[in-house]
Structure 1
Amino acid sequence: MSAQVSVRDDGAVRILRMNRPEKKNALTAGMYEAMAAAIVATKTTPSIRCLVIAGQIGAFCAGNDLDEFRKAADEGEGLGEPVLRFLHALAYCERPMVAAVDGLAIGVGTTMLMHCDYVVASAASRFSTPFVGLGLVPEAASSLLAPRLMGPRRAFEMLVMGEPLDADRALALGLVNKVTESTEVEPQALAAAQKIASLPAEAVLAARRLIRGDPGEIAERIDEEADFFRERLQSPEARAAFAAFFARKR
């Protein structure tokens, strides 16, 4: 288990927290591995009836660690197995997932929310998916889930044009269920998770399966996006965009 991911069970609720505040919870391979393991383990832990995914105050998740993306590009790789394990864990998770979002949610920090069943966000939250601006393509099956959630035009605006969303816009588009103050995000997310966990477990599972549809379709899109992502990561466009990004950081 990565030290940058903590897992705590509170009765029937498993709380999965990204804990890399110095990097605004930018995800590393180890963090992806730890999160995937915690999610997959719920399949053999019937006492856990709901998951909560949380970050830190002011930063839910700044996306993938770009240093690791640059290394993957140099080595001719793509998203990498740890990322894909995490995304498949989201797709095949049979426990309801609640997210508690405060502050930045960038890249996979936004797209993972499309797999969640209930999302509480602070009024200060900001959501963005700057994939195409980096010469890449969307991931986490967002090219499938975002059009279903908000319609193809709004999905294009977010996923291709990279237009960011504030909390109220995210609420209006259905990415978020509830907007509240930063101090209330986690208490309200935990209250929602506890309510879900108190419902008849088999009925929740059956209803959720009907609502979400075939997880295999979602996993297939994750893999299809990953193939495009690998190609794009080697492209001159992506290399130029990453070089410009890291030049700005210096």
Structure 2
Amino acid sequence: MTAEIAIWRDGPIQILRIARPEKKNALTGAMYGKLADAIEAGDADDTIAAHILTGSGGVFTAGNDIGDFLATARGTGGLDKNVVRFIRLLPVVKKPLIAAVDGNAIGIGTTLLFHCDLVYAAPDATFATPFLDLGVVPEAASSLLMPARMGYTRAFAMLALGDPLSADDALAAGFVNAIVPASDLEATALAAAKRLSAKPPEALAIARRLMRGDPEIILARMDEEVAAFRERLRSPEAVEAFTAFFEKRPPNFRKTE
């Protein structure tokens, strides 16, 4: 287990905490792999009833580590297989997945929430998907799920304009269940998970499957997004975006000779 992912149990509930505070909980390939390992193991364990995903230090996650993206854009790395593995796991998680979001939820930190069964947020939670600003495209089937959940115009403002949402906005948009004080956030998620653990497991699994629909449709969109994402990571736009990020300057996508 990498130190940046803490995993433990509270009775029948598996809790996964992203803990890389020095990088605002940005996710590396190894961290994606540990999250996927834990979810797969929990799904295969009959004594685990649900998963809770949370952050630490007042941050959920800053999204994918930009350094990894820059390495790919410069041709010295690739889109880590664990990133794709984790994303493709989200639509087929067998046990309820609950998120407790405090602080920033950027990129995958927001898009993964559309695969969660329950999402609780602290009042200062902020949700943002700045994919286009980085010269890339939406992922985790967000191009399909966000318009379906929020409506096209609100999803377009978030995915294309890069407009962030507050906790109140996210609640109104329908992908946050409730806003609770940060001090109560994890306890609220745990209480909901334990309520689910008391339900008949086979009936719960069937109900989830019926409500979530055909995962193959979502997986197909994910594969489209991954192909486009890989292509865009090596584009001049992405190189400029990532370089500008590290140089702390605005990117220039309209360079002249």
Name the residue aligned to 2:23. 23
Give the SS at the match of 2:163.
coil
Structure 1 residues 214-233: aligned runs within 5 Å: 214-233=214-233
In the TM superposition, residue 244 of structure 1 has moved relative to its aligned partner by 1.1
Name the residue aligned to 1:204. 204
Name the residue aligned to 2:99. 99
Amino acid aligned to 1:102? D
- Contact kept? 1:33, 1:86, Cα under 8 Å: yes
- Contact kept? 2:73, 2:233, Cα under 8 Å: yes
Give the SS at the match of 1:136.
coil
Give the SS at the match of 2:53.
strand
- Contact kept? 1:76, 1:234, Cα under 8 Å: no
Name the residue aligned to 1:168. 168
TM-superposition CA deviations, 1:72-124 (whole Å, max 9, x none): 22227653211011112212111110000000100011111111010000001
Structure 2 residue 134 is the aligned partner of structure 1 residue 134: yes
* Cα 1:224/1:77, change in 2 over 3 Å: farther
How many angstroms apart in 2 are the aligned matches of 1:146 and 1:79? 23
Of the two, which has the highest radius of gyration? 2
- Contact kept? 2:53, 2:98, Cα under 8 Å: yes
Give the SS at the match of 1:8.
strand
Provide the aligned length of Structure 1 versus Structure 2: 249
In the TM superposition, residue 144 of structure 1 has moved relative to its aligned partner by 1.1
In the TM superposition, residue 11 of structure 1 has moved relative to its aligned partner by 1.3
In the TM superposition, residue 43 of structure 1 has moved relative to its aligned partner by 2.9
Gap regions ≥5 residues in structure 1:
none
Amino acid aligned to 1:144? L
Structure 1 residues 120-199: aligned runs within 5 Å: 120-199=120-199
More displaced 10-residue stretch of structure 1: 66-75 or 204-213:
66-75
How many angstroms apart in 1 are the aligned matches of 2:19 and 2:77? 26
Give the TM-score of the pair, scaled to structure 1: 0.96
Amino acid aligned to 1:126? T
Structure 2 residue 217 is the aligned partner of structure 1 residue 213: no
Give the TM-score of the pair, scaled to structure 2: 0.94
Name the residue aligned to 2:252. none
How many angstroms apart in 2 are the aligned matches of 1:77 and 1:87? 19
- Contact kept? 1:78, 1:226, Cα under 8 Å: no
More displaced 10-residue stretch of structure 1: 54-63 or 73-82:
73-82
How many angstroms apart in 2 are the aligned matches of 1:52 and 1:185? 11
More displaced 10-residue stretch of structure 1: 179-188 or 215-224:
215-224
Query: Percent identity at matched positions?
Result: 51
TM-superposition CA deviations, 1:140-188 (whole Å, max 9, x none): 1111111111111111111111100000000000121000111111111
Give the SS at the match of 1:100.
strand
Give the SS at the match of 1:59.
coil
